[in-house]
Amino acid sequence: MKSHMEMNSNIERSEVRRDRGDVKRPSNELPHMKSMEGRRLERTRESERPSTELPHIKEKNIQKQNNKEINEVPKLGGSYRDVKKSSNGETHEVHHMPADSASYLERDDGPAISMEKTDHRQTASYGSSREAREYRAQQRELIEDGKFEKAMQMDIDDIHEKFGDKYNNAIDQMLDYKKQLKQEGRI
């Protein structure tokens, strides 16, 4: 009986590669790739390819989008529109400063901060109580007299009195937005 070595003596070792299942393949061909023998390669310039064929560009756009999402800081203060986009509506509400009903600015453009719902309900301008209506009327008078910033300061003082420095980051972001409104001549 012939030994295993004798049976394979006709086949040179360098030409045979064994992989799973004892399948014999030429050593220059990987099991997961088909041979390119007989195929003609076509060269094209990248500029001649449709943009859908440039995966590296698509990948860069995805990376930019991902980095933007990662680096994007939630808006805790600013315009009502921007704060609303970043706010978690289940736990937080957006608080206009000064009150929306007292201001001539469009609702979405009014300065605002994100607050916990329970805190928002404790603010002086919230709701329909007599005190809240009087508070908003006082803000409206200040705004009509050209004292928008004093009306805003009423809310800042109210929040500091009730919640300390809890909302300082949001207030700082809102004050940056106030500067923008002032530069644009809107307040």
Three-state SS string over 88-101 comes to: CCCCEEEEECCCHH
Residue 85 has pLDDT above 80, yes or no: yes
Per the domain annotation, does 122 fall within a domain? yes
Per the domain annotation, does 54 fall within a domain? no
Per the domain annotation, does 166 fall within a domain? yes
Domain total of the chain:
1
Per the domain annotation, does 70 fall within a domain? no
Per the domain annotation, does 4 fall within a domain? no
Lowest-confidence region among 16-30, 65-79, 110-124:
16-30
Average pLDDT value for residue range 82-100: 95
Q: Which residue has the higher pLDDT, 100 or 24?
A: 100
Q: Which residue has the higher pLDDT, 8 or 154?
A: 154
Residue 136 has pLDDT above 90, yes or no: yes
Dist CA 110 CA 156 (whole Å) = 15
Residue 69 has pLDDT above 90, yes or no: no
Residues β-bridged to residue 79: 111
Residue 48 has pLDDT above 70, yes or no: no
Average pLDDT value for residue range 145-173: 98
Lowest-confidence region among 84-88, 139-143, 175-179:
84-88
**Residues 92, 119: contact at Cβ < 8 Å?**
no
Q: What is the pLDDT of residue 15?
A: 46
Average pLDDT value for residue range 83-95: 94
3-state secondary structure of 147: coil
Q: What is the pLDDT of residue 2?
A: 52
Per the domain annotation, does 151 fall within a domain? yes
Per the domain annotation, does 92 fall within a domain? yes
Q: Which residue has the higher pLDDT, 112 or 31?
A: 112
Per the domain annotation, does 49 fall within a domain? no
Q: What is the pLDDT of residue 176?
A: 98
**Residues 105, 184: contact at Cβ < 8 Å?**
no
Domain that holds residue 178: 77-183
Q: What is the pLDDT of residue 30?
A: 53
Q: Which residue has the higher pLDDT, 108 or 31?
A: 108
Residue 14 has pLDDT above 70, yes or no: no
Dist CA 133 CA 98 (whole Å) = 13
